[in-house]
Amino acid sequence: MHHVEPTIKVGMSLGSPASSASKRTSEAPPSMELGNSRGDPPAAPELGKKEMKAVPKKEGNKKAAQSGNSEYEGPKTPDPKILRRLAQNREAARKSRLRKKAYVQQLESSRIKLSQLEQELQRARAQGVFFGGGSLIGDQGLPSDAAVFDMEYGRWLEEHHRLMCELRASVQEHLSENELRMYVENSLAHYDEMFGLKGMAVKADVFHLVSGTWKTPAERCFMWIGGFRPSELIKVLSSHIEPLTEQQILGICELQQSTQETEEALSQGLEALYRTLSDTVASDALSSPSNMANYMGQMAIAMSKLTTLEGFVRQADNLRQQTLHRLHQILTTRQMARCLLAIAEYFHRLRALSSLWLARPRQQDQFSMH
């Protein structure tokens, strides 16, 4: 037998395919060698591995979404008290929007009426006519201050009647204290507007307010310094605000006593003013107009005393306004609502009495019937 070992050595030294493959394998990167040595799968199986990992992630998101939805789910049976309170709030908001809308419409209609009145006055001035039932047109084609106040007071009465109707309906519906308080405060604010109108009218024509010609005849019987007497009004209201607690009775008694004391002080001051004004007008210095210096001096004194008269009207209106707000502090909201309704009914009856008096059959009508 021949020995073949030398032949194998020669083949290996000449660079056989096996040796070249081993050489390329030795030149490969270490990572590949490590991967091959561990027997790792190729790149395709790695993609499959990632897909296998993505599956539980999607399931986790699904569970998270389900848990999130369960967290945002509200109660299936809400509390009836909460639903009733929400409904009341919505109804109060709706009524507030309606009132604001009506107020804006009223302002717009008042503006239109005022512009129309100005145009009519300008035409009347051009034709040389008088304004209304006797108020003269001024030099600028505008009505007198007394006529303007009477017109604004008439509008105030119309709005006051509307507010009283709303207040009466709210009392009859037995609304809650919070809802009823809104109507009461609106009514008090409307009274404040009237006192503001009178404050402007005092500067323009104090005699018009003191004379009471802007009131009906029956109302003028109870006039006191340009308005109603607060202490008498408290007596009228006493039967409409019962039952009262001991603290409320004490507060109303103190209010009535302090109001009467202030009324007496103002009345005495006004009487003293009238006496001094009469003495000034009847002074001997005014009997001789030839002495113009003394004459004008005495007239200046009389004018200053008339300015004091404006102060008395303002103090009386302040007392009336403070009495209403003080009653609001002493009484409950429902009692104050009944109090405002009683005041409105009292003056409404006086105006109705005046209408009946003016419409009564005259004596000459009775003679003509016979």
Provide the pLDDT for residue 163. Answer: 95
Is 173 inside a domain boundary? Answer: yes
The pLDDT score that the predictor gives to residue 119 is: 65
Element (H, E) at 326: helix 292-330
| pLDDT (tens digit per residue) in 146-178 | 888 999 999 999 999 999 999 999 999 888 888
CB atoms within 10 A of CB 318: 13
Contacts of 214 (CB under 8 A, 6+ apart): 146, 149, 150, 153, 208
Total domain count for the chain? 1
- Is 352 within a domain? yes
Distance CA 60, CA 58 (A): 5
Rg (CA), the chain: 48
Q: Is residue 267, in this structure, part of any structural domain at all?
A: yes
Give CA torsion, residues 121, 217, 227, 204, to 10 deg.
Answer: 30
Structure confidence at residue 127 (pLDDT) = 46
The pLDDT mean for the chain works out to 76
Residue 191: name the closest of 33, 81, 309, 347 by CA: 347
Q: How far apart are CA 265 and CA 312, in angstroms?
A: 10
pTM value is 0.60
Contact 309, 153 (CB under 8 A): no
| pLDDT of 160 | 96
Q: Is the dihedral of CA 170, 176, 177, 181 positive or negative?
A: negative
Cβ–Cβ contacts within 10 Å for residue 216, how many? Answer: 17
Contact 160, 190 (CB under 8 A): yes
- Chain-centroid distance, C-alpha 367: 57
Angle between helices 292-330 and 177-204 (to 10 degrees): 180
97: closest CA among 176, 180, 161, 182? 182
Q: What is the mean pLDDT of each run of 10 residues along the chain (370 residues)?
A: 45 43 44 44 46 47 49 61 87 84 75 68 50 40 75 94 94 88 94 94 91 92 94 87 90 95 96 90 64 75 87 96 96 94 94 91 60
- 135 DSSP 8-state letter: B
Classify residue 48: in a domain, yes or no: no
Confirm whether 101 is domain-assigned: no
Dmax (CA) for the chain in angstroms is 182
Structural domain contains residue 196: yes
pLDDT on residue 170: 92
Q: Reply yes or no: is the peptide bond before residue 361 cis, omega within 30 of 0.
A: no
Residue at 56 is within a domain: no
In angstroms, the CA 117 to CA 121 distance is: 6
Residue 9: what pLDDT?
43
State the pLDDT at residue 132.
37
151: domain range?
144-369
In a domain, 9, yes or no: no
pLDDT tens-digit profile of 213-266?
Answer: 999 999 999 999 999 999 998 988 888 888 899 999 999 999 999 999 999 999
Residue 31: predicted pLDDT? 42
